[in-house]
Amino acid sequence: MTQFKHIGLIGRLHSPAVIETLQRLIACLNRSQCQVWVDERIADSLQSDPLTDLSYGISDRHFLGQQCDLVIVVGGDGSMLSAARVMATYGVPMIGINRGKLGFLTDIVPDQLEASIDAVLAGHFETSHRFMLSAHVLRNGEEVGRGSGLNDIVLHPGKSARMLSYDLSIDGTAVYFDRADGLIIATPTGSTAYALSAGGPIMHPGLDAIALVPMNPHNLSSRPLVVGANAVLEILIGQDNSTQPIISCDGQVHIVCEPGDRVHIQRHEAQLKVLHPLGNHFYDRCRSKLGWHARASDDGQ
């Protein structure tokens, strides 16, 4: 008997492929006699379909977090990131069905939907725990914005092409002053996202570490830096900046900053529990998603 009785569904908007997958998913869960709840943001698109033999309720994401034993996301990694910031606060495990592009977090392929979900409901899955980051922006000692990210917290110049100046401190100790296009602070989960494109290291999701990756630094000795996950980071935005820098959380939550603002970044108190099909290993995903290749033969030649 499945341990998941109440299951929430979240999907990417404006995608016929997502709607078709959600319909299959609801039918699969109905056969397993699970109570299904659909995120209200996608419900209208789902209801417009002539299929009427699907049983589900409609609610907002906070209700899903409060009432569901499991949340399934249909879409890409962006859909997972958006849902994760809510579900992590409620401790609800998530699993993703990939209807996006790369899909590091959404690792069930649509062709294997029914078999994979039936296996998860039968208790055949692996669990990974992903920590998040929180950011607080202070101006003259007062908080003016906050956000959280599963992938990363990024300081960038917004629409401006100008470089930014900033000071970085870690655990109260000054590290360096830099001028750059920005700074990416990434979790292991986010190390295969924006940070990877900027030349940062790939980190196994089980590591307790944070990667700091300067973007096109003026100082060529500014290299990616990996610190412990419990480090407390502070970014002082230079007074000489002529633009309003932006703090972006997972590229989805944006905080407009001013010169002189201080940004405190540290490990979030909540963490996300992600379920994976058995045998779905991180290095296998790296090979398939990043185009890595194993040896053509195993004969040692």
Catalytic residue IDs: 77
DSSP state string for the chain: --S--EEEEEE-SS-HHHHHHHHHHHHHHHHTT-EEEEEHHHHHHHHTSS------EEE-HHHHHHH-SEEEEEE-HHHHHHHHHHHHHHT--EEEEE-SSS-SS--B-GGGHHHHHHHHHTT-EEEEEEEEEEEEEEETTEEEEEEEESSEEEEE-TT----EEEEEEETTEEEEEEEESEEEEE-TGGGGTHHHHTTPPP--TT--EEEEEEES-SSTT---EEEETT--EEEEE-TT--S--EEEETTTEEEE--TT-EEEEEEEEEEEEEEEETT--HHHHHHHHHT----S-SS--
